[in-house]
Amino acid sequence: MPQAPAVIGNLVESTLGRPARVLNVDEPAAGFLELELRAASPPGGWRPGHEIQFRVAPTLGRRYTVRTVGGPDAERIGILVATDSAGPGTTWMRRLRAGTEVTVLTGRHRPLRENGTRRLYLGDSSALGTIDAYAQSGDDPVVTVEVPADAVAPLADRWPRYRFLPAADAPGDALQSWLERTDSELAGLDGALLLGHAQSIQRQRRTLIDGQILPRRAITTKPYWATGKEGL
């Protein structure tokens, strides 16, 4: 997974699958769904940033990130899903309703490598849930996320500490423009987490390194999608 023969998918599901029930589905902004689930805990318990998968077709899986853990019980988790693409994951997620029984695939939490304590977080809609899960810790993080224009205001109301940029015509252009004209906010950074669009991540990392803002070893990257690849 995320793409594998059905027999492999069945084997993975039998090993890593955990029963879950959808408790609530909300739309906090255009292009986003927020889901709350009760899911059986994996070894070590749920953690913000936990990577999970859903089988959205017999041969196709999609990865998402646990954004929140807790509430009335330790088996309650929340995820934020970007729905601004027309891919199979978006289609599958839009069908979910409160009470739907699903299977969550996951194992023990393996957090992303993070450097330093004052970090830069950059990403697009697909990465907002992951960014929020990780940016909850650390010292005065700098968070900038590229989202659809009509989602900027409601997301900024919900996360006033984060900067939301209206996406330009090409993926990553709004983020790149902000990064190239920003100076004082980036002073004193000692780590960065770059997520989302693969080609944009490459540009962002090069800007940070060439501008002597951060060394390569201080930057963690994780692409979620790439131009020309199948949608989410």
Q: Which residues have a Cβ under 8 Å from the Cβ of 171 and sit 6 or more positions away?
A: 124, 146, 197, 199, 200, 227
Q: What is the mean pLDDT of residues 79-102?
A: 93
Model pLDDT, residue 3: 82
Element spanning 176, H or E: helix 173-181
User: Looking at the domain that runs over 119-225, which CATH code has it been given?
Assistant: 3.40.50.80
Judge whether residue 137 has pLDDT over 90. no
Model pLDDT, residue 231: 57
Q: What is the mean pLDDT of residues 99-108?
A: 97
This prediction has a pTM of: 0.93
Residue in 168, 169, 176 with CA at minimum distance from that of residue 123: 176
Rounded mean pLDDT of the chain? 93
**Residue 73 binned pLDDT confidence (cut-offs 50, 70, 90):** confident
Model pLDDT, residue 178: 97
Q: What is the mean pLDDT of residues 17-34?
A: 97
Model pLDDT, residue 229: 75
- Owner of token pair 């986003």: 32
Q: Which residue ranges does the chain devote to CATH 3.40.50.80?
A: 119-225
Q: Which residue ranges does the chain devote to CATH 2.40.30.10?
A: 6-105
- Structure confidence by residue, pLDDT tens digits, 197-208: 999 999 999 999
Q: What is the mean pLDDT of residues 4-17?
A: 90
Q: CB of 92 within 8 A of CB of 22?
A: no
Model pLDDT, residue 86: 78
- Structure confidence by residue, pLDDT tens digits, 150-194: 999 999 999 999 999 999 999 999 999 999 999 889 999 999 999
Q: Which long-range contacts (CB under 8 A, 24 or more apart) does 152-158 make?
A: 154/28, 154/29, 154/30, 155/28, 155/29, 155/32, 155/128, 158/28, 158/29
Rounded Cα distance between 105 and 188, Å, is 39
**Residue 232 binned pLDDT confidence (cut-offs 50, 70, 90):** low
- Give the domain 6-105 fold: Elongation Factor Tu (Ef-tu); domain 3 (2.40.30)
Q: What is the mean pLDDT of residues 35-57?
A: 96
